[in-house]
Structures are given as structure tokens and as C-alpha cells.
Structure 1
């Protein structure tokens, strides 16, 4: 009787399991495996690896409602992935490997990765020459067909076609800049520091620190080529050191951060001709604070709403907030917030505009700030990540 009872109970249990059907995939996931949930973003952090504190690109998860960040994980090993760009499809990521030689040539490299949206880990696809030494910045154009890269050491910009599977082809065009400016060492030759495209995806703009100019190109995404435009460039004040550039999301304005003078130059942008016309230039430091030799500007970004602009100041170790006049593009100082660390080289604003994450290169932290939607001011959330030499922050929804 006892054995028949056990058999009967086992049969009932088996029937119950069968009726319940297969468990959700998350229940089958091995320990440590994670899945994306609504309201959660992947955060990728690019680093310098030459001091042995870092091994490459790191990933964390950000919960928008709470601002909570998970402990960072190594997403992929990579050498000096100092700037990152996410493909519009959200499935591929590209990194500028800021090195002076690659495969025996005096050039840096660009690496392609596939994004695992569940785990956040990156699978290496391939690597190509960046077309010049020391690549410091890169983007994916708005069609997702081309990676554009600025080579600081080589003073050049290059366009690399993206294949349908996310792999990179060799550069289809490389354009070398010429000239110099007034600083005897930092501006003895060209140093292309960034490249961006406008909303139309017809024009590309390269900020060159070494020659105090914005170089303008016509972009052909289908051919993956950059062609010098007319007008070919726009000059800024000698000794400014153009570094990074940001467009307003909906208005015809653009903003250039000048590293050496710690200034922002605001431009009107003509979408038809591609021309830039200067509106004003003002300091990124708070009123009453004078620039010192150890200070330098680093990053500039416009809030997704288009109402605010943010600029980081290394040495002063702050992020300055400006309000943008929507009718004129002019800037008004709002405030300056310490980054709670040293040397804020790069920062990122999440796509919803709620949070800003600042990478403090020399104190090895990424610190989170909540953005006041009415004023643009920053308030620390209390969340931070410990990562060796963080220099770039990018989000994936």
C-alpha cells in the first residue's frame, strides 16, 4: 500500500509540473546571468589601460527610477578604449583604441563589438586601422553605415564602412589636416580631437586643437567618404584648442568646447550650407574663478530637452551648467557642481535626461548626479562606481 501511495503522489506531481508548462527563461538562467528589464539601461565605460588599473570596457546597469547602479563588470578586454560609440541599432559598439602603433604601423585602431543585451557583455568582432595615430574620438553616423574617427596624434580624420553584420572595413577615406597655431608645443601641428555629424547627416565637423579650427566635410554615407567642404573651416580665437562639439537636438545651434582656454563657443548652424557662424564665446568656469595652468576643458553635451548645456572642467574638477536660450542659442550660467573626484574627462547624460554620470579619470570613479528638469542643476545621488581611469560613458536602452 505504501509503495502504491508513493507512485500515486509522484504521478500527481508530474502532472502538475506538466500542466504548469516550461518555466520562464529567467528562471533557467545560470547564476550571475542577467536580463534587461524595463526602465533599465546598460552603461558602458571606456578607460585607459596603460596604468594596469583597467583592462578595457566595463558595463554597469542603471535603474532610472531609483538611480541605482550595479557593480561594474569587465565587458571586454581592449587596449586604451578611450572613446566609445553605440550603433543606432543598439546591437553594436565601437571603440577608439588610443594607441600610436597598430600592426607595425604608426596608426591607432578601431574595434567593433556585438552587444549581448541580456548580459551586457561584448563579443569582439574585428579591428581595423583608424587611419592615424592616437584616435581620441569616434561616432557612428545617423544611418549606421559609417564610423567616423578623429586621430589626435595623426592630425587626421577617417571614415570606416560598417558591414551588415557590424564588422568594420578598412578606412574608405582619410583626410589629413594642415597648419599650426600659437602654442609652441601643443599647437605645433594638427591634432584632430573629435568629429560629429549634423542632424541631416550631410556634414561632418572635426574640432582640431592644434590649428584652432573646425574643419567642415561633406559626408557620403553610401561611399563612406569625407570630402572637404566650402567653406572648408571656421577659426576660433588663437590658443583656444578646440576639443569637443555638440549640436542642439531641435534648434540650429552648435557648441564647441575649447580645451586650452576653457571656453564654449556657440554657433548658429546653417543646415542647408553647412556653415557655422559664431554667436558668442564664454568661460566654462564659474564667475570669479580664473583659469590656471593645470585646468583644461574636456567634455560638452546638450541635454536631450535642448534646454541645458553641460561642460566639464579638469583641474577645477567640476561640471558647469548653462541654460540655452531657445530663440538665440545664447548661454546663461546656471551653476557649477563638483564632480566628487579628480579630472572629469568624460561624462554621459542618459537618454531620458534624468541622470548624468561623470567619469573622474584620476580618482578612478564614475559618480552619478540627478538633473533638475526645471533648472538643469546637478545633485549627487550618492551612487558611484569604482573603475580604473574612466574616460567615456555611453548608454544603451
Structure 2
């Protein structure tokens, strides 16, 4: 595993961050969370960093924002559960950049890591709830590229409990099918789920694994068949026409997959074996081209970002069956143009943000805790750098993160 300190551009960013103005403890009490929105429209990636107002959820861009990442096309990011470290994957340069999060929410560059074993074009990552491992989806296995297309893989990194640094685990790499796009690790029961867009697998592109909590190794669940993507089909569970994201409820009881080409969300129950079982009333209609979904920290509501409809669809989750019903007051709410990612801050669990790829904005919405309905946050949408690709919110350290128990 090759790793290095950040390059000159990113180092300059770190220096400027260190010189930035701090925020008093008193003022931080009025900042409930920090929001990070990577943008891919420049020659080097940028991360827009915001403070989220406790009172109304409005965004205030930090003085040092945007932060240059030093690499091209940042497409996804994940954070440790304590909010101390943020990791960003860059598709075009096959890099992972690690940041430390300051007490004021500013990002401080730590390390840069190459993809494991010449895997290329990482598109998604997820850190385990115990902050022990990071799983990265790569578009191509070694030997394949955009010029000679082929299957992808899942690579594994161990996370240091001391400084958040990563150590590659190349022997644990799992080869899967074509075009993996989304990954989630279970809060409980130690399962991992991936969706890919492999046409050879038909409509069975949801894959499931058990995760060894000591080593990070993945073992396919019953019903998940792995191949190399060329001579042997990689296949799993029914996932619609073109699955675009996968998300799990906070109690690890239900799993949901968005299907971008059928404009629907598919639901599953998860028993003790972890094998997804379709919910009887599934699927449910969404807006046009849902690319991403999120669930509020209490596990009551699910939301989809509908790229083609410039909207967010809202659903209530039946706590017994996992079935979805439209929100009582708002089944669809207009946001900016081309939302392709949606996130909810984990402190109050009531402010939602979408990264709007086509109009270079972030939309802010407030959740009604009684019915899941959405209203626009004051001054929304908020400006970002060109082509915002995703969004991640972490709690300000002075505010507790919501947790639920199974």
C-alpha cells in the first residue's frame, strides 16, 4: 500500500486552514452540525464546508472554504461516527484523502492513499459504525480500465484508532461485477450490502456479505454468487432495472434500494441471517431518476433525491413491516437542479441537504418530526463550487449525535 502526505496544493490548503480564524465555544453552541459538499467541476477537487445553524438550519460557509483536495473528481465521502475524520474518494485519480475535523469544523489534510492493487475509479465508500474498517467500491479491478472495460471490486482498509490513518488489506479484496455504485455497512449484525449495475446479472444486482469485525474480511451471504464479471456471473437479490443506491435503517431491520430507471424504491426486511427478503408491498414510486436515498437518524422517514425531477420524495417507514407510505403533508418537494445526493445532519436529525449537480447549489430542507414533511430552510438554496457531487453532515462536538437501539 502506497501512501503519502498531501501534495503541494493540498499542503497549502492545510496551512491556510491553520491560519484561519477560530470560533469561540459560545458561538459553536449555535452551530448544530458541519456540512461538507465536494465539487468536481474544477481541475482539482474542492470541498465546500459550512456551519449549520442550530435555530433554522441555514448554512454559513466557513472562511477557508472551499478546500482544495489536490485530486480530480471527488465523488463520495464518509466520516467516523465521532466526527473526527472525513475520507474522500477521487474517481479520476483513484485516491483517498483523509482529513481531520477541527473543533470549528474546518478540515485539516492528513494523508493521501492510492487505491489497492491498481484498482481504479473508486465511486463509493463506507466506514463501519465501530470506525474499524473502510470499504471502497472500485469501478475496475486490476487489468481493466475505461479503455478496456471490465468488472469492479470491494477493497478494504483498516482504520487506526489513534489517528484515523488507513492500512490497506489487499488480501481481503472481493471481486464483484460491473459498475458497482453504492455500499452500506450495518449498524448491527455486521452485514455489508452493495449494489452494482451489471447487465449480466439481470435484475439481481444487490449483493450481501457478512463482515468479520476483527479482520474486516467479507463472506458472501446465501444467495450472493461472486464471479469475475466476465466468465462467471456475479449475482445476488432482486434489485430492479438499474439500482443506484442502497441504504439501511438505523436499527438494521430494513434495507432499501433506489432504482433510477424504473423510478422506484425497493424495500427488504433483514432477519438474523442478513439475507434480504422483499417487502410484500414493495416497490414504491419515486420522482424521476432517483439517484440516492437517506433515512432520518430516528429511522422513521426515508427520502429519495430525484435527479430528473429536481425534487425529494418523502416516505414514512412502518416500524413493524418496513413498508413505505407517502408523507402526510409532502410526498415531493422541489429542490435545486439535478440533486444526486441527500443527507440529514445527525445531531437534531431535522435538517436535510441535497447536492444539486446541475445548478451548483445545495438545497436545505427542514423535517417535520411528526409526519416527515419538508419545508425549505431560510435562504435555500446555497451556492457551492461547480458540480457538487455529494454531501455529508456531522454533528458539532458540542451537540450529541442521535442514536437508536434495536
TM-score by length of 2: 0.77
How much does 1:315 deviate? Answer: 1.3
- Match status 1:175 vs 2:174: yes
Q: Secondary structure at the match of 1:315?
A: coil
Matches within 5 A, 1:272-283: 272-279=272-279, 280-283=281-284
Pick the aligned partner of 1:92 from 64, 72, 85. 85
- Match status 1:32 vs 2:34: no
1:82 maps to which residue? 75
Q: Closer, same or farther in 2 for the Cα pair 1:384/1:78, shift >3 Å?
A: farther
How much does 1:65 deviate? Answer: 1.3
- Match status 1:365 vs 2:361: yes
How much does 1:115 deviate? Answer: 1.6
Within 2, Cα distance between the matches of 1:31 and 1:159? 35
How much does 1:35 deviate? Answer: 4.6
Q: Is the CA contact (8 Å cut-off) linking 1:218 and 1:226 kept in structure 2? A: yes
2:392 maps to which residue? 394
- Match status 1:125 vs 2:111: yes
Q: Closer, same or farther in 2 for the Cα pair 1:374/1:130, shift >3 Å?
A: farther
How much does 1:275 deviate? Answer: 1.0
Q: Which piece of structure 1 moves more, 228-237 or 217-226?
A: 228-237
Within 2, Cα distance between the matches of 1:171 and 1:95? 18
Q: Closer, same or farther in 2 for the Cα pair 1:268/1:340, shift >3 Å?
A: closer
TM-superposition CA deviations, 1:166-216 (whole Å, max 9, x none): 1112243211114xxxxxxxxxxx111111111225211111122342111
How much does 1:235 deviate? Answer: 2.4
Within 2, Cα distance between the matches of 1:111 and 1:130? 14
How much does 1:360 deviate? Answer: 0.5
Which runs of 5 or more residues in structure 1 are unaligned?
Answer: 1-28, 103-107, 179-189, 287-294
2:156 maps to which residue? 159
Q: Which piece of structure 1 moves more, 57-66 or 31-40?
A: 31-40
1:71 maps to which residue? 61
2:228 maps to which residue? none
Paired residues in the alignment total 339
Matches within 5 A, 1:174-323: 174-178=173-177, 190-200=178-188, 202-210=190-198, 211=201, 212-232=204-224, 234-236=236-238, 240-250=241-251, 252-270=253-271, 272-279=272-279, 280-285=281-286, 295-323=288-316
TM-score by length of 1: 0.79
> Larger relative CO (CA 8 A, sep 6+): 1 or 2?
2
Q: Is the CA contact (8 Å cut-off) linking 2:51 and 2:60 kept in structure 1? A: yes
Pick the aligned partner of 1:145 from 115, 123, 132. 132
Structure whose alpha-carbon radius of gyration is higher: 1
Within 1, Cα distance between the matches of 2:184 and 2:253? 15
TM-superposition CA deviations, 1:223-260 (whole Å, max 9, x none): 2322223232642255x212211112236211111222
Q: Closer, same or farther in 2 for the Cα pair 1:171/1:319, shift >3 Å?
A: same
Within 2, Cα distance between the matches of 1:237 and 1:145? 29
Q: Is the CA contact (8 Å cut-off) linking 1:76 and 1:121 kept in structure 2? A: no
Q: Which has the higher strand share?
A: 1
Q: Closer, same or farther in 2 for the Cα pair 1:66/1:231, shift >3 Å?
A: same
Within 2, Cα distance between the matches of 1:305 and 1:159? 29
2:230 maps to which residue? none
Give RMSD over aligned pairs: 2.3
Q: Secondary structure at the match of 2:100?
A: strand
How much does 1:326 deviate? Answer: 1.2
Within 2, Cα distance between the matches of 1:84 and 1:393? 8
How much does 1:140 deviate? Answer: 0.7
